[in-house]
Amino acid sequence: MSAEPTTSQSLAPPVARQVPSVRTFHGDHVTDPYAWLAAKDDPDTIAFLEAENAYAEALTAGSEGLRETIFGEIKGRTQETDLSVPVRKGAWWYYRRTVEGQQYGLQCRCPARPGDDTPPRAGREPAPSGEPAAEGPAPASEALDGEEVLLDANALAGDSSFFSLGAFSVSPDARWLAFSTDFSGDERFTLRIKDLQTGAALPDEIPGTFYGAAWSLDASALFYVTVDGAWRPWRVWRHTVGTPHTDDVVIFEEADERFWIGVGLTRSERFLSVSSSSKVTSEVWLLDAAAPDGELTVVAPRRQGVEYQVTHQARADGTERLLILHNDGALNFELATAPVGRPAEWTPLISGRADTRLLGVDAFTDYLVVHFRRDGLTGLRIIRPDDSEHDVAFPEPVYTVSPGGNSEPASALYRLHYASLVTPDSVYDCDMATGELVLRRRTPVRPLPGPGAPREYDPGQYEQYREWATAPDGTRVPISLVSRRGTPRDGTAPGLLYGYGSYELSVDPRFSIARLSLLDRGFVYAIAHVRGGGELGRGWYDDGKMLHKANTFTDFVACARHLADGGWTSPGRLVAHGGSAGGLLMGAAVNLAPEAFAGIVAQVPFVDALTTILDPSLPLTVTEWEEWGDPLHDPAVYAYMKSYTPYENLQNAEYPPILAMTSLNDTRVLYREPAKWIARLQADARGGPFLLKTEMNAGHGGRSGRYDSWHEEAFVLAWIINVAGAGQP
């Protein structure tokens, strides 16, 4: 046995055996005593993980009541029987429904009336305070008139403890549904086809597929992606409906291990698009969707460092063009046009700007909508046929606005999502001709029972702010904060600081029902918008990757100290939280400044980064070399990564309590990274306790059912509340 089982009477951590394994690169010899934990099928590995689960459960047993209370708060505030705002596609409205007591949603559609752009509704929901009544659907227990249930995920999941959909694609003629399923969390899906006229499943069954699928225009062919041995999507296949998958044909193969591929159908349904992208370079190929047996045509051959994406626009005057969003000579990207017949001839339409990062473009018959980022906030700009422009504006100091489900190219309405730290997700339709916004639906927050009247959610009881911390090199780092109105600024409030900071992904300010369980217990919740993310443009990302990665970590520590210096909280009451690459951030930040935090939550954390990025046989490694650098071939990168990778840089210091969470079947960040990290912390570090909780049948996203995920969220929040001493003087 590698570990000693723990009972509630014995609160010593499991003892993992140490088996010295030497890693040698660039003349550097490193002994790793826990490398054996990489053997997933070794009974000793499973025994260690199970012992750690028992230890974590024993040490958190006292919070069981709090966990159940928080789960009840999340569940009680959530509209369990609910209905999304339907999205129009052709003769149908498509939407998702949830039913109280069921873990997963139902994918549905109902017929659309000709010429009616107003989404159907089952009832009318109360209007948000100070706003006109929403015109969209209310939460409803009944189906909409004429409803067809396309897919019931509860029936598909059955008794499985994990379930996930990887593809959900209705054919252009609305006859077929392509969908794929995963029952283990390893993100390897089985693709199937359903006849929506008869409800019968076709014998077509394709194992081992990746996310997504796309149809030809006549629905005779289905295109999908498979992965190689390192879990890299690298081949696009054409499947003819009604034939064995063994007859399928590869139409595109990407040999360069840095590149991932994806496949999709343009909104206009004119082209099938195959995109191949590394972290810094991209290439797009188009296929006439009406000729599924035809040849792919490249838009522009790849050039190292040039990224681009392609949108097709069919205009009202009968002409068509391609819209190319690219960074060729434009750090923050610019928008160009190109003739369909000469796609490599790019003519600028919107020039790049130093203060604005262009994120995407949606093309309609008469309008364009550009999604952008400026001053750390997202925005949407409508471009009309007469070239006049309109920015969709919102009044809150921090918020997120993003494209919604837009599928009809001839529509004059643009669906968008809006949220802030205090405003629940709100679905609007914007009249692109006038700029008028119609609120279709705002996610309801149900009142909780309480003494006297039920506790209604009132956004006016909360305040949100934008603060700026100063990093060691003088860079100003934005922080988004929210707290209950009147929360003291004397350092007594408990705090939670969230961070990510990689891949140019931005942690934008959004609403969370679960977060209310912290705010109502006096917490200040903050997001550190550190370098390596995309909040302040491409330069912000570049300055937090490769040989600048340490900026991500020092930015986060600076944000933690800013909160304490400003009286928002104090080091003894501040918990840090991050996941995946944000888990790397957690491990690196606590190594730099263990005294700055009362606790650390690291979910699926990338804490053994150097070991992973040295192994090109592992999932993601080669594609990641343009994010972190290539330590296998570059001694400078090796030395730099070794200087910050959390597993190898534990300090001779008192560490705060740490909770690491992982999943056995995670293909993105392997379970072994947090397992090794916690084993070393338990053996060598002072302080703690250091806990590891492993889901034995799940993937990178953790538990899949909504009630299961709420229980997991309640577990984490209860741990945070206890560690931060919420409610204590």
In the set 84, 580, 663, 704, the catalytic residue is 580
What is the Cα–Cα distance from 202 to 675, expressed in whole angstroms? Answer: 43
Q: What is the DSSP letter of 200?
A: P
Backbone angles phi, psi at 678, to 5 degrees: -70, -40
Instruction: Report yes or no: 466 and 479 within 8 Å, Cβ to Cβ.
Output: yes
- Quick one: which of 659, 657, 661 has its CA closest to 686? 657
User: Which residues lie across from 323 on neighbouring strands?
Assistant: 311, 337
What is the Cα–Cα distance from 121 to 464, expressed in whole angstroms? Answer: 33
Q: What is the maximal distance between C-alpha atoms in the chain?
A: 78
What is the Cα–Cα distance from 367 to 403, expressed in whole angstroms? Answer: 14
Our answer to whether residue 28 is catalytic in this structure is: no
Instruction: Report yes or no: 264 and 272 within 8 Å, Cβ to Cβ.
Output: yes
The SS3 assignment for 71 reads helix
461-496: b (≥16 Cβ within 10 Å) or e: ebbbeebebebeeebebbbbbbbbeebeeebebbbb
- Quick one: which of 30, 34, 32 has its CA closest to 15? 34
Tokens describing residue 455: 């506790």
Q: In residues, how long is the chain?
A: 729
What is the Cα–Cα distance from 468 to 477, expressed in whole angstroms? Answer: 5
What is the Cα–Cα distance from 427 to 137, expressed in whole angstroms? Answer: 11
Instruction: Report yes or no: 544 and 567 within 8 Å, Cβ to Cβ.
Output: no
Tokens describing residue 239: 């499947």
Tokens describing residue 485: 């109105």
Q: Dihedral, CA atoms, 431, 435, 441, 447, nearest 10 degrees?
A: -170
Our answer to whether residue 708 is catalytic in this structure is: no
In the set 312, 371, 390, 700, the catalytic residue is 700
CA 625 to chain CA mean position, Å: 21
Instruction: Report yes or no: 178 and 222 within 8 Å, Cβ to Cβ.
Output: yes
Our answer to whether residue 666 is catalytic in this structure is: yes
Query: At 218, which helix (H) or strand (E)?
Result: none
| Residues forming the active site | 580, 666, 700
